Amino acid sequence: MIIFGINPTIEALRSERVTELLVSRRRRQGLTEVVRLADEKNVRVERVEAEKLERLSAGGSHQGVVAIMKFPDNSTVDALARVSGNPLIVVLDGIEDPHNLGAIARTAEVAGASGLVVQTRRSASLDGAAVKASAGALAYLPIVSVVNVARSLDELKALGVWTVGLVAEVEQSIYDVDLTVPVALVVGAEDRGIRRLVRERCDWQVSLPMQGRIESLNASVAAGVALYEIVRQRHFR
Protein backbone atom coordinates (compact mmCIF):
# COMPACT_ATOMS: atom_id res chain seq x y z
CA MET A 1 0.00 0.00 0.00
CA ILE A 2 1.35 3.39 -1.02
CA ILE A 3 0.50 6.30 1.26
CA PHE A 4 1.55 9.92 1.10
CA GLY A 5 1.46 13.13 3.10
CA ILE A 6 3.26 14.08 6.31
CA ASN A 7 0.59 13.33 8.94
CA PRO A 8 -0.57 9.96 7.52
CA THR A 9 3.07 8.89 7.19
CA ILE A 10 3.89 9.89 10.78
CA GLU A 11 0.93 7.86 12.09
CA ALA A 12 1.90 4.90 9.93
CA LEU A 13 5.47 5.07 11.26
CA ARG A 14 4.20 5.20 14.83
CA SER A 15 2.08 2.12 14.16
CA GLU A 16 5.24 0.38 12.88
CA ARG A 17 3.64 -0.56 9.57
CA VAL A 18 5.91 1.35 7.20
CA THR A 19 8.38 -0.83 5.31
CA GLU A 20 10.01 1.84 3.13
CA LEU A 21 10.10 5.63 3.04
CA LEU A 22 10.77 7.94 0.09
CA VAL A 23 11.35 11.64 0.74
CA SER A 24 12.06 14.57 -1.52
CA ARG A 25 15.71 15.11 -2.34
CA ARG A 26 15.21 18.88 -2.39
CA ARG A 27 12.57 19.57 0.25
CA ARG A 28 13.52 19.63 3.93
CA GLN A 29 10.79 21.73 5.57
CA GLY A 30 8.33 19.64 7.55
CA LEU A 31 10.18 16.35 6.99
CA THR A 32 12.44 16.37 10.04
CA GLU A 33 9.99 14.47 12.25
CA VAL A 34 9.24 11.96 9.49
CA VAL A 35 12.92 11.15 8.95
CA ARG A 36 13.61 11.03 12.70
CA LEU A 37 10.77 8.54 13.25
CA ALA A 38 11.93 6.44 10.31
CA ASP A 39 15.44 6.24 11.81
CA GLU A 40 13.96 5.36 15.21
CA LYS A 41 11.89 2.55 13.67
CA ASN A 42 14.78 1.33 11.47
CA VAL A 43 12.89 2.10 8.27
CA ARG A 44 15.04 2.65 5.20
CA VAL A 45 14.85 6.24 3.87
CA GLU A 46 15.51 6.99 0.21
CA ARG A 47 15.95 10.49 -1.17
CA VAL A 48 14.28 10.83 -4.57
CA GLU A 49 13.30 13.49 -7.08
CA ALA A 50 9.87 15.11 -6.87
CA GLU A 51 8.84 13.49 -10.15
CA LYS A 52 8.98 10.03 -8.58
CA LEU A 53 6.85 11.15 -5.62
CA GLU A 54 4.32 12.68 -8.03
CA ARG A 55 4.12 9.41 -9.95
CA LEU A 56 3.77 7.21 -6.86
CA SER A 57 1.10 9.43 -5.29
CA ALA A 58 -0.80 9.70 -8.60
CA GLY A 59 -0.70 13.48 -8.41
CA GLY A 60 -1.93 13.64 -4.81
CA SER A 61 -0.65 16.16 -2.27
CA HIS A 62 2.36 14.16 -1.07
CA GLN A 63 4.10 17.06 0.78
CA GLY A 64 7.46 15.59 -0.11
CA VAL A 65 6.98 12.11 1.33
CA VAL A 66 5.65 8.74 0.15
CA ALA A 67 5.69 5.56 2.21
CA ILE A 68 5.07 1.88 1.59
CA MET A 69 2.78 0.59 4.34
CA LYS A 70 1.30 -2.75 5.25
CA PHE A 71 -2.23 -2.75 6.63
CA PRO A 72 -3.06 -4.21 10.06
CA ASP A 73 -3.12 -8.00 10.08
CA ASN A 74 -6.23 -9.44 8.48
CA SER A 75 -9.05 -9.73 10.98
CA THR A 76 -12.43 -11.44 10.88
CA VAL A 77 -15.97 -10.48 11.81
CA ASP A 78 -15.77 -13.00 14.63
CA ALA A 79 -12.57 -11.40 15.98
CA LEU A 80 -14.07 -7.90 15.94
CA ALA A 81 -17.11 -9.12 17.87
CA ARG A 82 -14.96 -10.81 20.50
CA VAL A 83 -12.63 -7.93 21.33
CA SER A 84 -12.25 -7.19 25.02
CA GLY A 85 -14.68 -4.68 26.44
CA ASN A 86 -17.76 -3.55 24.56
CA PRO A 87 -17.36 -3.96 20.78
CA LEU A 88 -18.22 -1.08 18.48
CA ILE A 89 -18.01 -2.08 14.83
CA VAL A 90 -18.64 0.16 11.82
CA VAL A 91 -20.11 -1.57 8.76
CA LEU A 92 -19.89 0.29 5.45
CA ASP A 93 -22.49 -0.72 2.86
CA GLY A 94 -21.50 0.67 -0.51
CA ILE A 95 -19.29 3.63 0.46
CA GLU A 96 -17.46 4.23 -2.82
CA ASP A 97 -15.72 7.55 -2.17
CA PRO A 98 -12.25 6.99 -0.65
CA HIS A 99 -12.42 10.37 1.10
CA ASN A 100 -15.65 9.35 2.83
CA LEU A 101 -14.15 6.00 3.79
CA GLY A 102 -11.09 7.73 5.20
CA ALA A 103 -13.13 10.31 7.10
CA ILE A 104 -15.35 7.61 8.64
CA ALA A 105 -12.27 5.56 9.59
CA ARG A 106 -10.73 8.61 11.28
CA THR A 107 -13.80 9.23 13.44
CA ALA A 108 -14.26 5.52 14.14
CA GLU A 109 -10.69 5.15 15.39
CA VAL A 110 -10.92 8.24 17.62
CA ALA A 111 -14.29 7.01 18.96
CA GLY A 112 -12.68 3.72 19.98
CA ALA A 113 -14.21 1.45 17.32
CA SER A 114 -13.08 -2.17 17.19
CA GLY A 115 -12.76 -2.08 13.40
CA LEU A 116 -14.42 -1.61 10.02
CA VAL A 117 -16.34 -4.09 7.89
CA VAL A 118 -16.35 -3.26 4.17
CA GLN A 119 -17.62 -5.08 1.11
CA THR A 120 -15.04 -6.37 -1.35
CA ARG A 121 -17.02 -5.16 -4.39
CA ARG A 122 -18.49 -1.70 -5.05
CA SER A 123 -16.56 -0.14 -2.21
CA ALA A 124 -13.92 2.56 -2.05
CA SER A 125 -10.35 1.41 -2.56
CA LEU A 126 -8.12 1.33 0.49
CA ASP A 127 -5.57 3.51 -1.27
CA GLY A 128 -3.41 6.50 -0.46
CA ALA A 129 -6.33 8.93 -0.79
CA ALA A 130 -8.34 7.00 1.81
CA VAL A 131 -5.36 6.75 4.17
CA LYS A 132 -4.67 10.49 3.82
CA ALA A 133 -8.34 11.34 4.48
CA SER A 134 -8.21 9.12 7.56
CA ALA A 135 -5.24 11.16 8.91
CA GLY A 136 -3.45 7.87 9.46
CA ALA A 137 -6.29 6.09 11.27
CA LEU A 138 -6.26 3.27 8.72
CA ALA A 139 -2.79 2.38 9.98
CA TYR A 140 -4.36 1.31 13.28
CA LEU A 141 -7.94 0.24 12.56
CA PRO A 142 -8.58 -3.44 11.76
CA ILE A 143 -10.48 -3.84 8.49
CA VAL A 144 -12.51 -6.88 7.48
CA SER A 145 -13.39 -7.26 3.80
CA VAL A 146 -16.49 -9.38 3.22
CA VAL A 147 -18.28 -10.63 0.14
CA ASN A 148 -21.77 -10.26 1.63
CA VAL A 149 -22.57 -7.49 4.15
CA ALA A 150 -26.02 -8.88 4.97
CA ARG A 151 -24.56 -12.27 5.85
CA SER A 152 -21.93 -10.59 8.02
CA LEU A 153 -24.68 -8.82 9.97
CA ASP A 154 -26.31 -12.20 10.62
CA GLU A 155 -22.96 -13.43 11.92
CA LEU A 156 -22.59 -10.43 14.21
CA LYS A 157 -26.10 -10.86 15.57
CA ALA A 158 -25.38 -14.50 16.35
CA LEU A 159 -22.36 -13.30 18.34
CA GLY A 160 -24.49 -10.97 20.47
CA VAL A 161 -23.87 -7.72 18.60
CA TRP A 162 -26.86 -5.45 17.96
CA THR A 163 -27.01 -4.07 14.42
CA VAL A 164 -28.04 -0.43 14.02
CA GLY A 165 -28.66 1.01 10.55
CA LEU A 166 -28.66 4.72 9.74
CA VAL A 167 -31.78 5.24 7.63
CA ALA A 168 -32.92 8.76 6.79
CA GLU A 169 -36.61 8.08 6.29
CA VAL A 170 -37.52 6.29 9.53
CA GLU A 171 -39.13 8.01 12.51
CA GLN A 172 -37.14 6.34 15.28
CA SER A 173 -34.29 8.63 16.33
CA ILE A 174 -30.84 7.38 17.26
CA TYR A 175 -31.36 9.17 20.58
CA ASP A 176 -34.20 6.78 21.45
CA VAL A 177 -32.08 3.60 21.27
CA ASP A 178 -29.83 2.05 23.93
CA LEU A 179 -26.35 2.01 22.39
CA THR A 180 -24.47 0.90 25.49
CA VAL A 181 -24.72 -2.72 24.30
CA PRO A 182 -22.33 -4.27 21.72
CA VAL A 183 -23.14 -2.40 18.49
CA ALA A 184 -22.46 -2.64 14.78
CA LEU A 185 -23.28 0.71 13.17
CA VAL A 186 -24.27 0.32 9.52
CA VAL A 187 -23.66 3.28 7.19
CA GLY A 188 -24.90 3.29 3.61
CA ALA A 189 -23.91 5.15 0.45
CA GLU A 190 -24.99 8.75 0.07
CA ASP A 191 -27.01 8.23 -3.10
CA ARG A 192 -29.03 5.16 -2.10
CA GLY A 193 -28.41 4.59 1.61
CA ILE A 194 -28.36 1.09 3.06
CA ARG A 195 -29.52 -1.57 0.60
CA ARG A 196 -32.82 -3.31 1.32
CA LEU A 197 -31.40 -6.75 2.18
CA VAL A 198 -28.89 -5.17 4.53
CA ARG A 199 -31.52 -2.92 6.10
CA GLU A 200 -33.72 -5.92 6.83
CA ARG A 201 -30.91 -7.44 8.89
CA CYS A 202 -30.69 -4.41 11.18
CA ASP A 203 -32.14 -4.84 14.67
CA TRP A 204 -32.80 -1.10 14.76
CA GLN A 205 -33.25 1.39 11.96
CA VAL A 206 -32.60 4.89 13.22
CA SER A 207 -32.37 8.40 11.82
CA LEU A 208 -30.66 11.63 12.76
CA PRO A 209 -33.20 14.41 13.42
CA MET A 210 -33.16 17.04 10.65
CA GLN A 211 -34.22 20.56 11.57
CA GLY A 212 -33.30 22.43 8.40
CA ARG A 213 -34.30 22.29 4.74
CA ILE A 214 -31.58 19.88 3.56
CA GLU A 215 -32.83 16.29 3.65
CA SER A 216 -29.65 14.42 4.45
CA LEU A 217 -26.07 14.62 5.70
CA ASN A 218 -22.84 13.55 4.08
CA ALA A 219 -22.24 9.88 4.93
CA SER A 220 -19.07 10.58 6.90
CA VAL A 221 -20.74 13.39 8.88
CA ALA A 222 -23.75 11.18 9.69
CA ALA A 223 -21.44 8.39 10.81
CA GLY A 224 -19.55 10.84 13.03
CA VAL A 225 -22.72 12.10 14.72
CA ALA A 226 -23.90 8.52 15.34
CA LEU A 227 -20.52 7.35 16.64
CA TYR A 228 -20.37 10.14 19.16
CA GLU A 229 -23.87 9.44 20.37
CA ILE A 230 -22.58 5.94 21.13
CA VAL A 231 -19.57 7.46 22.92
CA ARG A 232 -21.87 9.78 24.89
CA GLN A 233 -24.17 6.98 26.00
CA ARG A 234 -21.31 4.68 26.98
CA HIS A 235 -19.10 7.14 28.78
CA PHE A 236 -20.98 10.32 29.70
CA ARG A 237 -24.53 9.33 30.56
What does the pLDDT read at residue 72?
Answer: 63
What does the pLDDT read at residue 74?
Answer: 60
Residue 14 identity (one-letter amino acid): R
The stretches of the chain forming alpha helices (DSSP H) are 6-14, 32-40, 50-56, 77-81, 98-110, 128-133, 149-158, 196-199, 219-235
> Is 13 in contact with 36 (CB distance < 8 Å)?
no
Class (C level, CATH) for 77-235: alpha beta
125-161 confidence digits (pLDDT tens)? 776 677 777 777 877 888 898 999 999 999 999 999 9
102-117 confidence digits (pLDDT tens)? 999 999 999 999 999 9
Tally: H helices and E strands in the chain: 9, 10
67-87 confidence digits (pLDDT tens)? 888 766 667 999 999 887 899
What does the pLDDT read at residue 206?
Answer: 96
- For the domain covering 2-69, report its CATH number: 3.30.1330.30
164-204 confidence digits (pLDDT tens)? 999 988 889 999 999 999 999 999 987 788 999 999 999 99
> Is 202 in contact with 164 (CB distance < 8 Å)?
yes
Domain boundaries of the chain, sorted by first residue = 2-69, 77-235
Taking the C-alpha atoms of residue 93 and residue 221, their distance in angstroms, rounded to an integer, is 15
